[in-house]
Amino acid sequence: MQALLEVILPVFLVIGAGYLSVWRRWISDGAIDGLMDFTQKIAIPMLLFRAISTLDLGAHFDVALLVSFYTGSLTGFLVGLLAGRYVFKRAWEDAVAIGFCCLFANSVMLGLAITESAYGTAALGPNYAIVAMHSPFCYGLGITAMEIARSRGTPARQMPAKVLKAMFRNALVIGILLGFVVNVSGLGLPKVASDGLDLVVRAAIPCALFGMGGVMYRYRPDGDFRIIALVCGVSLILHPTITYSLATFNGLSTEALRAAVLTATMAPGINTYVFANMYGVARRVAASSVLIATALSILTIWVWLSILP
């Protein structure tokens, strides 16, 4: 109960405040759109840039950590993809979007916020290692699968260019890559630039959580409940279970185990709807899955916090 009150509820109260503000019309949809544009295109990319540029790559980029987490991610994608196509008889494009919902955990808005709330800022190193690979891995896999589904008959040699073009339009990917450039090159930012960057970074997570609540009000559940139940089960149960099992088998440190499992048990992120909307497929499934899985994750996060050392 203490974990629920002290770690989980403060984060979800901020989400709830955003939801309530739009529901009661204290804030307009346009204001929420602007806030989400700020967080998705500016504040969170800056947060990732800042974190990756200063991260001790040798200490936190553990292959076993990444294998433990991303094996669960890949398994979730394949389960969602194949179930969408062969169980629910959806078109391949819809099936890819369903797989993406099972793949893309909310590693930044919720993952960082919950881990920091539970274990402190010093514990976020392994989280940033996971996050550094998250958008490139998930968008790379999702875009590749979608382009294959949409471009049946297109020469294979054209596929890499399509995938790379789509990925490098993503602000999160750009922020991560620039962070790696600064880290590896040893370049430092002038203090005035660093201080200004830190001001924006401090606003990233609270603004993102508040905006997320506002966006979720628009996409109330409507139909496709069997598919939504699949997405919730894969995201909240299958992914963290696989991650916990592999992390334990691989002998990860306590800090890395916590980061991997807590990130794995996060609900699908808003980016799943962005992906579905970008291709015009399975948008209702994506939006409803984010809403319902986020609400259910209060319980699953609590369970995993009780299990983790």
The arithmetic mean of pLDDT across residues 69-81, rounded, is: 97
* Number of folded domains that form the chain: 1
The arithmetic mean of pLDDT across residues 163-178, rounded, is: 78
Lowest mean pLDDT among 57-61, 73-77, 304-308: 57-61
Output 79 or 147, whichever has higher pLDDT. Answer: 79
User: Which of the given ranges, 9-18, 56-65, 217-226, 250-259, has the highest pLDDT on average?
Assistant: 250-259
pLDDT at 175 over 80: yes
Long-range residue pairs from 121-124, CB within 8 A, at least 24 positions apart, any chain: 123/255, 123/258, 123/259, 124/51, 124/259
What confidence category does residue 237 fall into, taking pLDDT thresholds of 50, 70 and 90?
very high
Range of the domain at 195: 2-307
Alpha-carbon span 226 to 249, nearest angstrom: 33
Here the CATH number for the domain that contains residue 188 is 1.20.1530.20
* Distant-in-sequence, close-in-space partners of 112: CB < 8 Å, separation ≥ 6: 124, 127, 131, 205
> Quick check: 72 and 260 in contact, CB under 8 A?
no
Query: What is the pLDDT, as a whole number, of residue 222?
Result: 64
User: Which of the given ranges, 77-91, 157-171, 179-193, has the highest pLDDT on average?
Assistant: 77-91
269: three-class secondary structure by DSSP: coil
The arithmetic mean of pLDDT across residues 247-271, rounded, is: 93
Q: What number of CA atoms fall less than 13 Å from residue 61's CA on the CB side?
A: 10
- Please, what is the Cα angle at 60 between 251 and 305, to 5 degrees? 60
Query: What is the pLDDT, as a whole number, of residue 217?
Result: 82
pTM passes above 0.95: no
Alpha-carbon span 195 to 192, nearest angstrom: 5
What confidence category does residue 161 fall into, taking pLDDT thresholds of 50, 70 and 90?
confident
Output 82 or 158, whichever has higher pLDDT. Answer: 82
- b/e sequence 212-239, b meaning 16+ C-beta within 10 Å: bbbbbbebeeeebeebbebbbbbbbebb
Q: In percent, how much of the chain has pLDDT > 70? A: 92
Query: What is the pLDDT, as a whole number, of residue 54?
Result: 81
User: Which of the given ranges, 14-18, 110-114, 225-229, has the highest pLDDT on average?
Assistant: 225-229
136: three-class secondary structure by DSSP: helix
User: Which of the given ranges, 7-21, 158-172, 241-255, has the highest pLDDT on average?
Assistant: 241-255
- Please, what is the Cα angle at 93 between 98 and 82, to 5 degrees? 50
Q: What is the distance, to the nearest Å, from the Cα of residue 181 to the centroid of all Cα atoms in its chain? A: 23
